[in-house]
Structure 1
Amino acid sequence: MNRLTAFFIATFMAFGTGLAHARDLNADEARKLRDAGTILSFEKLNAAALAEHPGATLTETELEEEYGKYIYQVDLRDMEGIEWDLEFNATNGTVLKNHQDR
């Protein structure tokens, strides 16, 4: 095997490994985590997102597990029509990302 082929195989494997560490959680999994007190309720997380952009509208939400951490992703559209991507630590509500969608 030549070096270029080995490089592409190693790069592909590293990329694939990164993808394997993030997964979407379904509603039943999320409910169990909330009921166990592992994550905050979606109502609290949605309120935190809307507090970052008062008057905005939620357009999409998603709960993921990444590297053993629960991340709540929220898409918002503000009153001017600007879309925002936010991420929260679902266990404590800390804002991890808050930027304008481009």
Structure 2
Amino acid sequence: MKTLTTLLPALPLIVMTCVVQARGIDPQEVLRLSDEGILHTSEKLDAKALTEHPGARIIGTQLKNIYGRYVYNVELRDAQGIEWDLEIDAATGHVYRNRQDN
């Protein structure tokens, strides 16, 4: 009970921290970061995603800043109609996650 009493007042702060840690990136900022060579261009990241699933089509993309890392999310649909979610490090091009969407 004492632990619950201690954690309960901190709960809003914990939730806000989680919300703040993952944020979308302003398009102007994306262009600036790409021009400065900090991030790969969306075209290059899209090409990387498509090499993972040849013949697929991109159905959605989003760039997020998660804990200080720029992560490019790509949703693909392959020739069989299966959807895939990929997470790519926008600075290095490394594919973090490549999983079938449920």
1:60 aligned residue: 60
Measured after TM superposition, the shift of residue 73 of structure 1 is: 0.6
**Hey, what's the Cα distance between the residues in 2 that align with 1:9 and 1:78?**
47
User: 1:96 is matched by which residue type in structure 2?
Assistant: Y
Q: Tell me whether 1:79 sits opposite 2:74 in the alignment.
A: no
Aligned residues: 101
Q: Tell me whether 1:88 sits opposite 2:88 in the alignment.
A: yes
User: Structure 1-normalised TM-score?
Assistant: 0.89
Per-residue CA deviations over 1:27-79 (Å, capped at 9, x if unaligned) read: 11100000000000111100000000111000000111111111111010111
Structure 2: any 5+ residue segments left out of the alignment? Answer: none
User: 1:16 is matched by which residue type in structure 2?
Assistant: M
**Hey, what's the Cα distance between the residues in 2 that align with 1:27 and 1:76?**
21
CA RMSD of aligned residues (A): 1.5
User: 2:30 is matched by which residue type in structure 1?
Assistant: A
Per-residue CA deviations over 1:10-39 (Å, capped at 9, x if unaligned) read: 344223212211110121110000000000
Q: Tell me whether 1:8 sits opposite 2:27 in the alignment.
A: no
Question: Structure 1 vs Structure 2: percent identity of aligned residues?
Answer: 44
Structure 1: any 5+ residue segments left out of the alignment? Answer: none
2:100 aligned residue: 100
| More moved, 32-41 vs 61-70 | 61-70
Dislocated runs of 4+, deviation >2 Å:
2-13
